[in-house]
Amino acid sequence: MKLGILRTDTVRPEWSARFGEYPDMFMRLLGRLDPSLEFRVYHVERQEYPDDIDEVDAYLITGSKFSVYDDEPWIYRLADFVRELHARRKTMIGICFGHQMIAHALGGETRKSHRGWGVGLHRHRLHGRPDWSDDGDAQFRILVSHQDQVERVAPGTEVLAGSDFCENAVCQIGDHILTFQGHPEFEPDYAREIMQLRRETIGEETYQAGMDSLDEQPETERIGRWLLAFLHKRDRAVA
């Protein structure tokens, strides 16, 4: 399987040597779990797109510091591309900004949460057992870093997981789109760096709670396996 990663941001230079760029984080996680995967990266913030929509089997949209409602030409073009992918029923995964972008482009609404910033490790709970999930606990631990969130889902969306802080944390549309508000690709040390950078912005109480939450480990590989199960199930369905 070939996975096209739509890169929507650049990691700060002082962090990139240690953590890599956002596509690198996904390639480490998913490539470790499935060495047969092939990756292609498209830097859509720089207007880089595939010459042929079918040159890869599926797409993944990364997180970003931008908001999906920002007045940026590249964001408008990405929204158009999401609509094209949906119309063609191409397999698509959205993470954080990608989760919000898919909802936004397909008729939902993303805006700043009245609850403020979500940072550190959060617990989300699955509603039932999606066919890409496992038999483990319905509650799962995932790193988050967001103020925007999906407040109204797009038509045809099934909400598969949420929390008191973020009701629409995992969403699926048909059998071809799966989105997560959280960051399965993040390492705790990267989440810590972001919180330290934004300490004044997110507020001291939220900062301290977020830092304390990192005493527990996110279920990185578990969620990575879910993403792969979704990708491979869809790949078999369209083969």
Nearest CA to 148 out of 86, 103, 199 is that of: 103
Q: Which tokens is 141 given? A: 């631990």
pLDDT of 210 reads: 98
Question: Which CATH number fits the domain that encloses residue 71?
Answer: 3.40.50.880
- How confident is residue 239, by pLDDT bands cut at 50, 70 and 90? low
* Residue 126 lies inside a defined structural domain of this protein: no
pLDDT of 233 reads: 85
Q: Where are the alpha helices (DSSP H) in the chain?
A: 13-19, 22-33, 73-87, 97-105, 188-197, 199-202, 204-213, 220-238
* Residue 153 lies inside a defined structural domain of this protein: yes
pLDDT tens profile 191-221:
999 999 999 999 999 999 999 999 999 999 9
* Residue 199 lies inside a defined structural domain of this protein: no
153-156's contacts with Cβ under 8 Å and 24+ in sequence apart are 153/103, 153/108, 154/102, 154/103, 154/105, 154/106, 154/107, 154/108, 155/106, 155/107, 155/108, 156/106
* Residue 139 lies inside a defined structural domain of this protein: no
- Has residue 236 got a pLDDT over 80? no
- Has residue 232 got a pLDDT over 70? yes
pLDDT of 144 reads: 98
* Residue 125 lies inside a defined structural domain of this protein: no
pLDDT tens profile 64-120:
999 999 999 999 999 999 999 999 999 999 999 999 999 999 999 999 999 999 999
pLDDT tens profile 145-198:
999 999 999 999 999 999 999 999 999 999 999 999 999 999 999 999 999 999
* Residue 168 lies inside a defined structural domain of this protein: yes
pLDDT of 231 reads: 97
Q: How many CB atoms lie within 10 A of CB 13?
A: 7
Q: How many domains does the chain have?
A: 1
pLDDT tens profile 219-228:
999 999 999 9
* Residue 129 lies inside a defined structural domain of this protein: no
Cβ–Cβ < 8 Å for 61, 95: yes
pLDDT of 91 reads: 98
Q: Compute the half-sphere exposure of residue 64: CA atoms within 13 Å on the CB side of its CA.
A: 24
* Residue 37 lies inside a defined structural domain of this protein: yes
Residues 124-147: what's their mean pLDDT? 96
pLDDT tens profile 13-63:
999 999 999 999 999 999 999 999 999 999 999 999 999 999 999 999 999
Residue 84 domain boundaries: 2-115+148-186+220-238
Dist CA 167 CA 159 (whole Å): 8
- Has residue 238 got a pLDDT over 80? no
